[in-house]
Structure 1
Amino acid sequence: MSIKSIAVLTSGGDSQGMNAAVRAVVRSALYRGLEVYAVQRGYYGLIHDDIRKMDLRSVGDIIQRGGTILQTARCEEFRTLEGQQKAAENLRKRGIEGVVVIGGDGSYQGAYKLSLQGIKTMGLPGTIDNDIPFTDYTIGFDTAVSIVVDAINKLRDTMTSHERSSVVEVMGRHCGDIALYAGLASGAEAILVPEVDFDLNKIATRMKDHFNAGKKHGIIVVAEGVGTGEDISKKLNEQSGLDSRVTVLGHIQRGGTPTHNDRILASRLGDFAVSQLLEGKSGKACGIIEGKLVATDIEKVVNTKKAMRMDLFELAMRLSQ
């Protein structure tokens, strides 16, 4: 029997394009004749019954906005079986049969737990880190990389003026994709990521050689998972004798207007999630691989580590010589 009512929530760290995804889910569901509800503050809102009905105007003028109009919050109670049962019961009493969860790995795990309670669930990859497997890109990643590239462009101007190196620390505790893509797009001299071992002494020697050959600046992009920018800069200065300065971009990477790529990706995935629920699917993670929309078992997604694009890393290294 086809479902008649669904809800949408955002969970975990916010990412640009979440609002575009919420808009797509709501309007796609309404177009197909479904009732749609929004859950405020993620799984916390599910447990505390912070749920409201949506219409077309509820998601007007949000496709271009960063963050999430539904807010997001941590919820330790949802980690318990009792919390999961309470959340499912709140949905059932409103007649809500399916939920679209927009978030990262932790959000996906919550969606899987909710599916075990008999609620049909779909996950959308909303995280700037691009660390979700079985999708080439996550919602917010393109915008975050664009922000980092723009910052590096500005830093390069002032570093050249002072003949210094710049160490740029970006987000990515376990996945170095932001550092990799931004570093490649910026022509960085070195890219340090958790997935690849590195030798700071060799990097320092190479940068010193570059400066001795007449280069006037240097850019090192560091994913936070390999260490702080301050520590990396200090060691580079000690080993090379150069004067490097640190910029930590922090949460600025999560804010701002989403790029057209993130808006389109979010729109496609949101519509796809609704269609999957209408087909009776559940416990799936929606993604995009080589331009095609795919749905993979959430249990498989959360138990798989995403492989790094070593071809891009090696390309960046070849071009930085």
Structure 2
Amino acid sequence: MKSKLKKIAVLTSGGDAPGMNAAIRAVVRSCAYHNVECVGVYRGYEGLIEGDFEILDARSVKNIINRGGTFLKSARSKEFMTKEGRQKAYDHLIREEIDALVTIGGDGTFRGAIVFNEEFDFPIVGIPGTIDNDINGTDFTIGYDTALNTVVEAIDKIRDTANSHNRLFLIEVMGRDAGDIALNAGIGAGAEEILIPEQDLGRDRLVESLKRSKKSGKSSSIVVVSEGGQIGKNIMGLADYIRQNLTEYECKVTVLGHIQRGGAPSCFDRVLASRLGVGAIDALLSGEKDIMIGVIHNKVTSVPFKKSLEGSNKIDQSLIRVADIISI
């Protein structure tokens, strides 16, 4: 049975991810399809506190499906972490006669939604938007596929230089607590070694592996390092250790940084974002709340917010085996 929601707000929070605009577009147009008014909230929870709202219709979101970032902007709000800040946000929602909220973001966004729902019993549905792919209850998060392709393209270009100069490149990618980007991009780009937070290989094992690669005839090597890799304090320290213990290579470091977050979303991310945006409105109109909309085995599904935060998706052990086998 469909609920009688008349006005739904949507916001993006936390780090931006390619495909967020596609998700906003899907939310807005789903609202229009169901004759529900849609309100865009600028700058995430900070805009919610300040009442930075704008009515959006189907034409408001034209020509944004191909754009990276988020046109609603994003911000991390310290004030929303306080009860007084959340009260201000709730007051603005009630004053504008908003009946429900769609939040697009990662774990921090969902934690804020959980607290807000507990305090005010306000209907909220989340859409996972983060390049790290570290949300439980969904096979993929919006932005992850685009980030992977960005990283692989960058590594392909760096390999040209590595091959030309017989160099060892350490390439740091995002993923403080999750190694999905490093593992998948490393396999896709043919890296000799991949260092991820979920697996502590140790610096000595890495050096020995690189020595074996050199003896086997490899004139250059690529090592992909997740920024949360258990290999030392930072990638520069790792590079110094390798230089001291492996003189066969000239060791260089490249930190890809925020380039991984930008750019036009891939087709996969555009389709995923569109499916999740429609799914979020369907869930709210069916009376669901305090949930995240995800995709499992290519089917749109919903999980409670709290379950989505019960540890990130487990790393695929079979991929680690694949990486070990094909990097010899």
Q: TM-score, normalised by structure 1?
A: 0.97
Aligned-pair CA distance for 1:202: 2.1
Kindly report which structure 2 residues correspond to 1:165-204, keeping only aligned pairs within 5 A, or say none: 165-204=168-207
Question: Partner residue of 1:29?
Answer: 31
Task: Find the partner of 2:237 among 231, 249, 263.
Answer: 231
Alignment of 1:67-216 (within 5 A): 67-116=69-118, 117-216=120-219
Task: Out of 166-175 and 229-238, give the one that drifted further.
Answer: 229-238
Matched residue SS, 2:228: helix
The Cα offsets for residues 12-51 of structure 1, whole Å up to 9 and x where unpaired, read as 0000000000000000111111000000000000000001
Task: For residue 71 of structure 1, report the CA deviation from its aligned partner.
Answer: 0.4
Work out the CA distance in 1 between the residues paired with 2:107 and 2:238: 28
Report the Cα distance in structure 2 between the residues aligned to 1:3 and 1:100, rounded to whole angstroms.
13
For structure 1, which runs of at least 5 residues remain unmatched after alignment? none
Q: How many residues align?
A: 321
Task: Please give the secondary structure, in 1, of the residue aligned with 2:68.
Answer: coil
CA distance in 1 between partners of 2:24 and 2:234 (Å): 34
- Specify the code of the residue in structure 1 equivalent to 2:67: R
Superposed displacement of residue 211, structure 1: 1.9
Look up the match of 1:307.
Answer: 314
The 3-state SS of whatever aligns with 1:273 is helix
How far 1:118 sits from its partner (Å)?
2.3
Aligned to 1:271: 278
State the identity %.
46
DSSP-derived class of the 2:80 partner: helix
Distance 2:172 2:234 in 1: 7
Q: Distance in 2 between matches of 1:39 and 1:104?
A: 17
Deviations 1:240-266 (A, max 9, x none): 212121000000000001000000000
Matching residue of 1:283: 290
1:293 aligned counterpart, secondary structure: strand
CA distance in 2, matches of 1:194, 1:7: 36
Q: Decide which of 62, 77, 88 is 2:64's aligned counterpart.
A: 62
Give the unaligned 5+ runs of structure 2: none
Q: Is the 1:201–1:236 Cα contact (8 Å) retained in structure 2?
A: no
Q: Deviations over 1:97-119 (max 9, x none)?
A: 11110000000011112222122
Cα deviation code 1:125-144 (max 9, x no counterpart): 10001111111110000000
CA contact (8 A) 1:153 1:186 kept: yes
Secondary structure, in 3 states, of the residue corresponding to 1:197? coil
Structure 2 distance, partners of 1:65, 1:228, is 33
Alignment-mate amino acid for residue 181 of structure 2: I
Measure, in 2, the Cα distance between the counterparts of 1:262 and 1:215: 36
The Cα shift of 1:279 comes to: 0.2
Structure 2 residue 47 is matched with structure 1 residue 40: no
C-alpha displacement at 1:206, in angstroms? Answer: 2.1
Residue identity matched to 1:314: R
Give the drift of 1:223: 0.5
Asked if 1 retains the 8 angstrom alpha-carbon contact of 2:136 and 2:310, the reply is no
> Which amino acid in the other structure matches residue 154 of structure 1?
K
Is the 8 Å Cα contact of residues 2 and 279 (structure 1) preserved in structure 2? no
Distance in 1 (alpha carbons) for counterparts of 2:88 and 2:213: 61
Distance 2:262 2:311 in 1: 28
Which range moved further: 224-233 or 7-16? 224-233
Partner secondary structure for residue 225 of structure 1: coil
- Give RMSD over aligned pairs: 1.1
When structure 1 is superposed on structure 2, of 40-49 and 207-216 the one drifting more is 207-216
